[in-house]
Amino acid sequence: MSYNIAIDGPAGAGKSTIAKAVAKRMNYIYVDTGAMYRAMALFLLRNHVKPEEMEKINEQCQEADITIRYENGEQVVLLNGENVNKLIRTEEVSKMASISSANANVRKKLVSLQQALAKRENVVMDGRDIGTCVLPSAEIKIYLTASVEVRAKRRFGELTAKGEQCALAAIEADIRDRDRRDMTREISPLKQAEDAVLIDTSDMDIEEAVMTVIELCRQKGYER
């Protein structure tokens, strides 16, 4: 049997930072499912599929072979054999991923890959539907959130640190848009699983959030 920790929440709540830190301390594998949806979005963009062309997304997604492997403890996403880690963090890919991830065929394909991985390995998996759909029987489920304002400020800080020009108001509007799409789509919308523990990181530092999850692992008897 493998130990699974499911972490869901909106963009910018700190999921990946916290999930990575928990995985390291528990000696589990960190699975970033958003990266898989991003790789699929990159594939569609490369094939000149437009976000509104749902029928085309339906057909084209069958041609994408998305797998993950681990190099020095880091997740590498392979799109038809190519390492696309460095190409999937653009705003264009973010937007396409948020739209194409609403497609049933896209989800079916990626969810089965995620479930197979969690069956084999002890994982900390983050995404939008991990506690509700991918790993409904995970004993530890976290719903990680923060206010839109705090999330926008964090993103603004990350981008300006990289030297990118951006406006806080535009980032905030973009986050609201993504939240709405992720939370209102028909298939597997983002929502807190009934048995998930809510952690709001608006006024919390990373260490506090990580320790809350580690304490839950201890209570549930999860082994390192």
Which spans of this chain sit near ligand DC (rule: CB under 6 A)? 11, 33-34, 37-38, 97-98, 101, 127-130, 178, 182
Cα torsion 206, 22, 9, 109 to 10°: value is 150
CA distance 118 to 186: 25
| Cα–Cα dist 148/150, whole Å | 6
CB of 100 to ligand DC, least distance (A): 8
Nearest Cα to Cα of residue 30 among 9, 4, 48, 65: 4
Q: What is the largest CA-CA distance in the chain?
A: 49
Q: Which amino acid is at 133?
A: C
Q: How far is the CB of 52 from ligand DC (least distance, A)?
A: 16
In the complex with ligand DC, which residue's Cβ is closer, 128 or 151? 128
- Cβ atoms < 10 Å from Cβ of 148: 17
DSSP 177: H
Cβ nearer to ligand DC, comparing 27 with 111: 111
Closer residue to ligand DC in complex, CB, 14/127: 127
Distance in angstroms (rounded) separating the CA atoms of residues 175 and 100: 17
Cβ nearer to ligand DC, comparing 101 with 145: 101
Q: How far is Cα 126 from Cα 31, in angstroms, rounded to an integer?
A: 6
- Identify which of residues 6 and 210 has a Cβ nearer to ligand DC in the complex: 6
Cβ at position 15, least distance to ligand DC in Å: 7
Instruction: Name the minimum Å distance from CB 81 to ligand DC.
Output: 21
The amino acid sitting at 61 is C
Cβ-based nearer residue to ligand DC, 143 or 215: 143
Instruction: Give least dist CB 211 to ligand DC, A.
Output: 23
Least Å from the CB of residue 74 to ligand DC: 15
Contact 159, 169 (CB under 8 A): no
For residue 82, the SS3 value is: strand
